[in-house]
Amino acid sequence: SSEQRPYKRVLLKLSGEVLMGETSYGVDPETINRLAREIIEVQNAGVELAIVIGGGNIFRGMSGTASGMDRASADYMGMLATVMNSIALQDAIERNGATVRVISALHIREIAEPYIRRRAVRHLEKGRILIFAAGTGNPYFTTDTAASLRAMEIQADAVIKGTKVDGVYTSDPAKNPDAIRYETLTFTEALTKRLGVMDATAMSLCRDNHMPIVVFDVTTPGQMLKAVSGEPVGTLVQE
Ligand code: UDP
């Protein structure tokens, strides 16, 4: 395969839920602080790092539509939730001593830079950590799709997706004790078997553009560095 680790430039996708830690809503200060330190550890290992953060710990478009909201309006609320998470993560990373920029797909000039691809790449070259806020800026999309899109745009070597499970399983490991973790998986297999790597839009984007995804457990300290260093953690999805 063409896939090579350690990676030089990665797109880290964090779901909003991982920011909650053991709580049931919002941002847990200890958890975000730990994540910030791990992110800096990855950067100190010489990896250029851009982050896409979700918003599910605050608001999801689908839950808005379930209560009767217009889908696009609900999705814009979801995007704003990702902006809040981005600012929280920026703050935590800064307090731990690294330089970081929030770049938003929606214009919120007072708190985030607008997304300009070449400027984003320049930030990375200068050693700054990037946080991409507001997803793709479009309703009907997800932050997984934003992660895939931005990974391609900045020519990342891989998307590393931090979740609460340590990879992709043959079935839900929480429900089925016989579930087996895949060490590697193809996009086509993940799509046809409907394995929960990312949504189909995000996965087909990665498949068509040869962008590997590493799914790893971000709740266990140390796994993030291992995932970018090429140690066999989680599941590698590639063509
Ligand atoms: N969202 C959107 N367009 C995007 C990215 C996100 O409309 O490009 C909205 C969508 O409503 C979604 C919410 O923002 O439910 C939060 O993002 P997501 O569900 O992907 O967050 P995660 O599950 O990763 O926490």
CATH topology (fold) of 9-238: Carbamate kinase (3.40.1160)
Strand-pairing partners, residue 163, are 217
Residue 137, marked binder: yes
In three-state secondary structure terms, 214 is strand
Instruction: Examine the pLDDT at 110 and tell me if it is beyond 70.
Output: yes
What residues does each domain of the chain span?
9-238
Q: What's the pLDDT at 19?
A: 98
At 121-172, the pLDDT tens digits run: 999 999 999 999 999 999 999 999 999 999 999 999 999 999 999 999 999 8
Query: How many whole angstroms separate alpha carbon 27 and alpha carbon 233?
Result: 26
At 190-232, the pLDDT tens digits run: 999 989 889 999 999 999 999 999 999 999 999 999 999 989 8
> Which residues form the pocket of ligand 1, taking CB atoms under 6 Å from any ligand atom?
15-17, 54-56, 60-62, 74-75, 78-79, 81-82, 135-136, 138-139, 141-146
Q: What's the pLDDT at 3?
A: 63
Instruction: Examine the pLDDT at 2 and tell me if it is beyond 80.
Output: no
pTM: 0.96
At 66-100, the pLDDT tens digits run: 999 999 999 999 999 999 999 999 999 999 999 99
Supply the ipTM of this predicted assembly. 0.98
- 16-34: average pLDDT: 97
Number of other residues whose CB lies within 10 A of the CB of residue 88: 18
What does 166-213 look like in DSSP terms, one character per residue? SS-BSS-TTT-TT--B-SEEEHHHHHHTT-SSS-HHHHHHHHHTT--E
- 2-8: average pLDDT: 76
Q: Do residues 169 and 180 lie in contact, with contact meaning Cβ atoms separated by under 8 Å?
A: yes
Residue 73, marked binder: no
In three-state secondary structure terms, 61 is helix
Reported as a pLDDT band with limits 50, 70 and 90, residue 6 is confident
What's the CA-to-centroid distance between 236 and ligand 1, angstroms? 23
Residue 60, marked binder: yes
Phi-psi region of 100 (alpha: psi -120 to 50; beta: other; left: phi over 0): beta
At 48-60, the pLDDT tens digits run: 999 999 999 999 9
Q: What is the mean pLDDT of the chain?
A: 96
SS3 percent helix, strand, coil of the chain, rounded to 5, is 40, 20, 40
What's the CA-to-centroid distance between 178 and ligand 1, angstroms? 31
In three-state secondary structure terms, 121 is helix
Reported as a pLDDT band with limits 50, 70 and 90, residue 1 is very low
What's the CA-to-centroid distance between 82 and ligand 1, angstroms? 7
| Residue 238 vs residues 111, 190, 205: alpha-carbon distances, Å | 36, 10, 12
